[in-house]
Amino acid sequence: MEVRRLVKMANDIGAFFERGGDAGGVANHIRMFWDPRMRREILVHLDETGGDGLTPIVREALQQHGHELDPGS
């Protein structure tokens, strides 16, 4: 899937949880509402580019909660 769009979606989610600094909230939202292939692709994107284009809170969410998001795990 086009990574640009996934990054945008993730950042939009991040913006909502930004204020409370709630990276867990971001991860949970992605876990609850994203199809596994989308989660996998954004994790790959994080791995490959260090999270190019992602806002800090989203990067933090993916880094800290990556294992919960990885559909393979």
Where along the sequence are the contacts to another protein (CB under 8 A)? 1-2, 5, 8-9, 12-13, 15-16, 18-20, 29, 32-38, 71
In the complex with another protein, the residue whose CB is nearer, 11 or 63, is 11
In the complex with another protein, the residue whose CB is nearer, 18 or 63, is 18
Helix (H, G, I), strand (E, B), or coil: what is residue 71? coil
In the complex with another protein, the residue whose CB is nearer, 36 or 56, is 36
Specify whether the backbone of 2 is left (phi greater than 0), alpha (psi in -120 to 50) or beta. Answer: beta
Phi, psi at residue 6, to the nearest 5°? -65, -40
Q: Minimal distance in Å, beta carbon 32 to another protein?
A: 6
Q: Minimal distance in Å, beta carbon 58 to another protein?
A: 11
Q: What share of the chain is helix, strand, coil (3-state, %, to 5)?
A: 75, 0, 25
